[in-house]
Structure 1
Amino acid sequence: MERKLVIVDCDAGIDDALALILLAGAHKLNKIQLLAVTCVNGNTNVENVVNNVFRTLQTCGLADIPVYKGAYSPLLSTESARIAATELFHGPDGFGNMFIDKPDTSKLQKEHAVHALYRMVCENPGEVSITCIGPLTNIALAIKLYPDFISKVKEFYVMGGNYTAQGNITAQAEFNFYSDPESVHIFLANNIKPHVLLPWETCMKYAVDPKWKNHVFGKIDTPEVRLMDTLHEFYLNNNKGYAIHKPCDAILAAIVLRPDMATKLIEHHADIELTGCRTRGQVVIDHLESNKPNTSTVIEYDSEIFKELLILALDPENYEGDVL
């Protein structure tokens, strides 16, 4: 079986790191080919995102994976963009300011992330799965710059938004989509390729059992686990423990590796609210079914598969199962 070609577009907060570790583990086992990581402003500014991506890849022993710097701000300078920029859930630098050293970023590619995205899908037409775990600014810019960009992509996996109007940064909006809803609208209005959406509410349905984390995850001693333990210390010190046990971006990465992990999906047409004074950034679903579906929303997923994939990614040399 040919390996799935994957590009990750991320804003490198703490759960992005675990997502990258999952995909890096599969890459090292030749289950996927991680073509590149593109960086976008979101959980922190894009300079910090670059640092965090390099730190994670170097921890995984994959310092040669190409990394590209992308958009440094949302498409529009709006009040919601200002609010999102001040929501330092992952700390000022995206990694909880837990490190005093700087990672080696000398291999940062000179090409802009948006141009790199287009070039790579043109080099591999119809073969690249793009995994989006941050705001969709880079994707929207690629769509607007290159009319044939979408046609070259195989599929999209996106973590963001909601399907019952439950939010986190506001009562109605999830952070990634709220940070740049115009980009979400551009993506949803133009995408013609398969699109798996993992919304906020689905991520909140299940939690990694703290006992399992302590007695299974906690017994593994690898550089990847030590990195995540350091980052989780920030959460524990800031009373944000749910992010340890419900790591949204990592859940999406696991679905990329095992699409059958998504046990219930609903196809519908979705857009995003741009002008509502209370609902900006909320996903709007066409319940009348007057439009053709443009997304498959994950409603349920198999948390046991997720835990198995975590064990595999964090300690591949000693893993004895067959989850991949």
Structure 2
Amino acid sequence: MAEKILLVDTDPGVDDCAALMMLMSQVPKVKIVGITCAAGNVGIRDVTINTVRIVKLFNMLNEIPIFGGCSEPMVLLPQTQDSTFYHGRDGLGEAPDVYPERSESLLDHVQAEHGVNAILRLSKEYAGRLQLVCLGALTNIAMAAKLDIDLPKRIKSIHVLGGTIIGYGNASPCAEYNFFTDPEAAYTVFRMFPQHCKTEVVPYETTTAHGIRPDLFNKLMSVDSMRANFFKAIFSTAKIYEDDLIAKGLSQGYCLCDAYVTTIVLNENAVTKSKSAKVTVEFSGSLSRGSFIIDHKNKGSPFLSSAEVTIIEELDDAICEDLIMKTFTE
């Protein structure tokens, strides 16, 4: 029997790809009961096609159902989010010819059931055992919780990539990309889930502090395997950006943000430092929209989360690197 029952909500994205690959490389130790897609790094059509490609790479299309989800945030404002400079216009590095090749026909593998409905159904089927692994904007999760307020009571734990600890933003001066993409969804999740289930957040600064060392990354990229060759091709656009940061001394390694969420899901011992606090996400303000608010000194506010969440501050690099290495070499 699988040790963990997982539902992954995602928006691939090359780092989402790495995270999904890490999880699938651990099957059957883990059971992935579904992958729900939401617009984020790119639009919902590209996100969904990308997800099918990644699952096909592991020959698991008959084992892991894929669901299309929300195509826009809960509140659509006249502002654009664009991460194509990093992920490429299609979200996977504009490498359509590497196996599994990109094709519109891949959408035939997507379930007819909407992702939000799938979340609710699976939460009942695996009540008390289901862990939500949230790699993108939280639109699908928030919409599911709005439709059924008892959803959080059926969830064992929820693990979220998003927010910042000290306001080191990558989508605005102070906001992280996922929360900035749908602040209302993030606010909803933190208002509804923490009082009912374990809630963990991996903030942006934690991921950047644990980038993969260049020597190890180069070793990974030299591996001649189907998995490694696929990732090498789709990471080419992102690598240009990461190489520039490293050359300028702004980064110590290659950052695969979503992979750190899957690391702590797969191995809780990877967490070496964390703190508990009530939190929320700001959804107003010309500069503060999407900011992750942490009640460091327990000041209190009716806008804060229903209970404390666990904020992951530091990770064991050796555990992270070992899981990533196994993903590409086994």
The CA deviation string for residues 197-224 of structure 1, in whole angstroms up to 9 with x for no partner, is: 0000111112211112223x13422211
SS at match of 1:162: coil
Matched, 1:12 2:12: yes
| Aligned length in residues | 310
**Could you say what the CA RMSD is over the residues aligned between the two structures, in angstroms?**
1.7
> Which runs of 5 or more residues in structure 1 are unaligned?
317-324
The correspondence for 1:227, drawn from 205, 227, 230, is: 230
CA shift, 1:96, in A, is: 2.2
- 2:201 maps to what in 1? 197
Q: What does 1:66-105 align with in structure 2 at a 5 Å threshold?
A: 66-79=65-78, 82-84=79-81, 86-88=82-84, 89-100=86-97, 101-103=101-103, 104-105=106-107
CA shift, 1:239, in A, is: 5.7
The CA deviation string for residues 123-149 of structure 1, in whole angstroms up to 9 with x for no partner, is: 011101000000000011001001111
Q: What does 1:196-275 align with in structure 2 at a 5 Å threshold?
A: 196-215=200-219, 217-238=220-241, 245-275=254-284
The CA deviation string for residues 6-58 of structure 1, in whole angstroms up to 9 with x for no partner, is: 0110011000000000000001xx21111111000000011101110111111
Separation in 2 of the partners of 1:146 and 1:308? Answer: 39
Is the contact between residue 41 and residue 91 of structure 2 (CA under 8 Å) also seen in structure 1?
Answer: yes
Is the contact between residue 222 and residue 314 of structure 1 (CA under 8 Å) also seen in structure 2?
Answer: yes
SS at match of 2:159: strand
Is the contact between residue 93 and residue 233 of structure 2 (CA under 8 Å) also seen in structure 1?
Answer: no
- 2:309 maps to what in 1? 295
SS at match of 1:106: helix
Cα 1:122–1:149 shift into 2, 3 Å: same
Separation in 2 of the partners of 1:169 and 1:240? Answer: 20
TM-score by length of 1: 0.91
The correspondence for 1:118, drawn from 117, 120, 142, is: 120
> Which runs of 5 or more residues in structure 2 are unaligned?
246-250, 301-305
Is the contact between residue 180 and residue 290 of structure 2 (CA under 8 Å) also seen in structure 1?
Answer: yes
- 2:133 maps to what in 1? 131
Separation in 1 of the partners of 2:170 and 2:240? Answer: 20
SS at match of 2:311: strand
1:173 partner amino acid: A
Cα 1:288–1:209 shift into 2, 3 Å: closer
CA shift, 1:298, in A, is: 0.5
Separation in 2 of the partners of 1:240 and 1:53? Answer: 26
Is the contact between residue 126 and residue 153 of structure 1 (CA under 8 Å) also seen in structure 2?
Answer: yes
The correspondence for 1:161, drawn from 163, 167, 177, is: 163
CA shift, 1:238, in A, is: 5.0
Cα 1:239–1:128 shift into 2, 3 Å: closer
Separation in 1 of the partners of 2:222 and 2:229? Answer: 11
- 1:147 maps to what in 2? 149
SS at match of 1:118: helix
Matched, 1:48 2:69: no
1:235 partner amino acid: A
Separation in 2 of the partners of 1:220 and 1:280? Answer: 42
- 1:319 maps to what in 2? none
2:80 partner amino acid: I
- Identity percentage of aligned residues: 27
The correspondence for 1:186, drawn from 176, 185, 188, is: 188
SS at match of 2:26: helix
